[in-house]
Structure 1
Amino acid sequence: MKKIILPVLIVFFSMCALAQKDNKVTIGTIDSIQSKILNEQRKIWVYVPDSWTAGSKQRYPVLYLLDGNSHFSSSVGVIKHLSEVNGNTICPEMIVVGIPNTDRIRDLTPTHVNPTPPFTDSLMLKTTGGGERFVSFIEKELMPRIDSLYPTQPYKILTGHSFGGLTVMNVALNHTKLFNAYICIDPSMWWDQMNLLNKTEKSLREKNFSGTTLYLGIANTLREGMDIIKVRSDTSKGTRHIRSILNLDQFIKEQKQNGLRYESKYYSNDDHGSVPLITEYDALRFIFSNYHFKLSPTDITDPTVDLVNKFEKHYQEVSKMLGYKLSPPEDMVNNLGCDVLERKQYAKAAGLLKINVENYPQSYNVYDSYGDYFLAIGDKSKAIEYFKKALSIKENPVSRKKLNQL
């Protein structure tokens, strides 16, 4: 029977879990893919949660990250914090796929432009407008590879900042069902005389976005003396970045009939460079606002509370949101089962430990804990049966000691 680890120890052991040989700390691996669509070799940075082990049936949603070389470590850190550190279950553990750049302005711009001020270097803009090919690479080459090599679930998120945010909006509007959720961070909607922005209102009015979630983070890029009210009527080129984003926000909010689940926030204390981290944190909390399983102290202390029913109802709703069946986390259920068992709430303990055996039949620990329940109620034959089952899955000193004492 595994017990709850105190929060301080959780942090310590989580840090230790990242340590690799040669005294180095790593948070992912570098993969690569030869793209026929882009006609180049692309490196991919991949993080798989620490809870995954070879042979495990555990699978995870996937967050695809544009400008991966810039935001990979911070994105992994935010997800780890919200999904596991200190016992958090604000969002699910996720695989993170960072896509480093080769030709950023080519891949992250949906249309080609010719040089106009402030862009005076025609070489800089020569390859612009490759956004659709880049999206095709993600859909037809990258996603199939990730799904074939890593333990993925079908729920996918696309995250992008600046030109990456422009790409996120292009995909959300024109390839909507490619991802379930989108995190759009201070997007460059001014690109090509606001070409994409000008098409946005029509798309938002005519398309059905049911089942799609979008979070928009807006940085404070205002000039001194401006505010988000005054800037809307300004016409100078210096404010077109934030004006275009504020217009985007307004367009989206005006089209509430299209089924899009949407939230936005203006970050007055963050500029274009600092806004990605806080936006991603808030976006994940919004996307997974109904994911966290909440327990009150009376849920544990009151023997009349049906925790099994509460778990089942909650995770049925979460499964509906994610589009695949999600069982209550093994460790959470096990810890609660052990807790109520110590309180001699045998019926509640039996229900919790039994559903854990049903949901995680390949885990030795669920059988060991269920054996503890039978031992507590005086059913030695059943306790022996479950300790033996635990040992058949994995030889471990805890189950072996219990079995030898019976």
Structure 2
Amino acid sequence: MKYSLLLFCMLLAVAGFTQSPKPIAIGHSIELDSKELKEKRTINIYLPEGYNAEDSALYPVIYIIDGGMEEDFFHITGIVRFNTQPWINRFPRSIVVGIENTNRRRDCTFPVANLDFVEKMGFKKEQFTSYGGSGAYIAFLQKELQPYIGSHYKTSGSNTLIGESLAGLLAAEILLKHRSLFNTYIIMSPSLWWGDGSLLAQAPSLLKKENNGKLNVYVGACSKEEDKRMYDDAIALANILQKEGGAGMKVFYDYLPNEIHSTMMHQAVYNAFKLIYPGTEYQK
């Protein structure tokens, strides 16, 4: 009898661990048919805890240029979720929008007369079979994606843009040429070498054309030993923004000497949120 009871309990325990597994959902995906990009784009969306389409709460939106599930959507959403937990409450609970890439080198770069400069950076011209499409991508953000998110989700009108490397170049171009599209820019190791540094050279004059409105800008740089040119460019961008960005622009420069180009993004985004929003629930 004793052994029968033991066997029965063991069978119950095994049965408890052999139930069908349930998926863990972090968000959902939609597909937009973009007229500006002339293609369909996958958009990954995270809605914060407590999101209810029927209540009156409105939420900031954080846009990730490299926002595919195999790119940066998953881990950045984790940082956002962590920082918006009620016991931390560094900034308001936010919607996260990740834009899946199809041709990153095309979408993140502006037109140039030739590609001679890429060889200085160790690339081959053949690696850039398509480029110069940033104008269409920016139009996609402004005319299609932001209006779609605004009309389908409960947004507050506060928008953050996150980009690193070539995506950082694109984020810098948007900041300099279309400043009002976002309230906060998180720019990491931007590839300002594109166009042989022409965007950086134009930055002072571009900033003077549009230097009204309050916004936060984080500029992060990884180890200068890995890439001195990109390190110098990040410092130069931060300095120009501080000097020419106007009274409403708050600039945060961050050097991450222990991170290389491929490892910096997670730590830099975390640092950016800490610098831009220094108070937590227990520090406010």
TM-score by length of 1: 0.60
Contact 1:106 1:131 survives alignment (8 Å): yes
- SS for the counterpart of 2:52 is coil
Contact 1:249 1:264 survives alignment (8 Å): yes
Match of 1:76 in 2: 77
**How many Å separate the matches in 1 of 2:98 and 2:28?**
10
Q: What are the superposed Cα offsets for residues 260-309 of structure 1, whole Å, 9 maximum, x if unpaired?
A: 1111110111111111111111212233346x5557xxxxxxxxxxxxxx
Contact 1:163 1:188 survives alignment (8 Å): yes
Give the drift of 1:38: 0.8
Alignment gaps of 5+ in structure 2: 1-19
Give the drift of 1:253: 2.9
22 and 126 in structure 1: CA distance in 2 versus 1, 3 angstrom threshold: same
Match of 2:104 in 1: 104
- For the pair 1:248 / 2:249, whether they are aligned, the reply is no
- SS for the counterpart of 2:72 is helix
The one-letter code sitting in structure 1 at the alignment partner of 2:235 is L
Q: 2:204 aligns with which of 184, 201, 204?
A: 201
- For the pair 1:50 / 2:54, whether they are aligned, the reply is no
The one-letter code sitting in structure 2 at the alignment partner of 1:120 is K
The one-letter code sitting in structure 2 at the alignment partner of 1:161 is E
Give the drift of 1:205: 4.4
- For the pair 1:24 / 2:27, whether they are aligned, the reply is no
Give the drift of 1:24: 1.6
- For the pair 1:120 / 2:121, whether they are aligned, the reply is no
Match of 2:274 in 1: 285
- For the pair 1:217 / 2:220, whether they are aligned, the reply is yes
Q: What are the superposed Cα offsets for residues 89-142 of structure 1, whole Å, 9 maximum, x if unpaired?
A: 1111110000010111111112235333244344x3232110011000011011
Contact 1:113 1:129 survives alignment (8 Å): no
Give the drift of 1:220: 0.7
The one-letter code sitting in structure 1 at the alignment partner of 2:152 is L
Q: What is the RMSD of the two structures over their aligned residues, measured on CA atoms?
A: 2.1
**How many Å separate the matches in 2 of 1:245 and 1:168?**
13
Match of 1:130 in 2: 133
Q: What are the superposed Cα offsets for residues 217-248 of structure 1, whole Å, 9 maximum, x if unpaired?
A: 1111415xxxxxxxxxxxxxx63222222221
Q: 2:147 aligns with which of 144, 147, 161?
A: 144
**How many Å separate the matches in 1 of 2:247 and 2:51?**
38
266 and 44 in structure 1: CA distance in 2 versus 1, 3 angstrom threshold: same
Alignment of 1:6-405 (within 5 A): 22-69=21-68, 70-84=71-85, 87-112=87-112, 114-116=114-116, 117=119, 118-122=122-126, 124-223=127-226, 239-255=228-244, 257-289=246-278, 292=280, 294=282
The one-letter code sitting in structure 1 at the alignment partner of 2:190 is P
Contact 2:88 2:281 survives alignment (8 Å): no
**How many Å separate the matches in 2 of 1:120 and 1:270?**
26
**How many Å separate the matches in 1 of 2:248 and 2:55?**
37
Contact 1:65 1:98 survives alignment (8 Å): yes
- SS for the counterpart of 2:32 is strand
Q: What are the superposed Cα offsets for residues 334-354 of structure 1, whole Å, 9 maximum, x if unpaired?
A: xxxxxxxxxxxxxxxxxxxxx
Contact 1:62 1:155 survives alignment (8 Å): yes
Give the drift of 1:206: 4.9
- SS for the counterpart of 1:24 is coil
**How many Å separate the matches in 2 of 1:23 and 1:269?**
39
**How many Å separate the matches in 2 of 1:33 and 1:114?**
32
Contact 2:77 2:96 survives alignment (8 Å): yes
Give the drift of 1:54: 4.5
**How many Å separate the matches in 1 of 2:48 and 2:221?**
30
Contact 1:210 1:261 survives alignment (8 Å): no
Contact 1:106 1:128 survives alignment (8 Å): yes
The one-letter code sitting in structure 1 at the alignment partner of 2:238 is D
Give the drift of 1:59: 2.1
Alignment gaps of 5+ in structure 1: 1-20, 224-237, 296-313, 315-406
- SS for the counterpart of 1:68 is coil
- SS for the counterpart of 1:253 is helix
Match of 1:355 in 2: none
**How many Å separate the matches in 1 of 2:33 and 2:275?**
35
**How many Å separate the matches in 2 of 1:258 and 1:52?**
35
Structure with greater strand percent: 2
Contact 2:53 2:154 survives alignment (8 Å): no
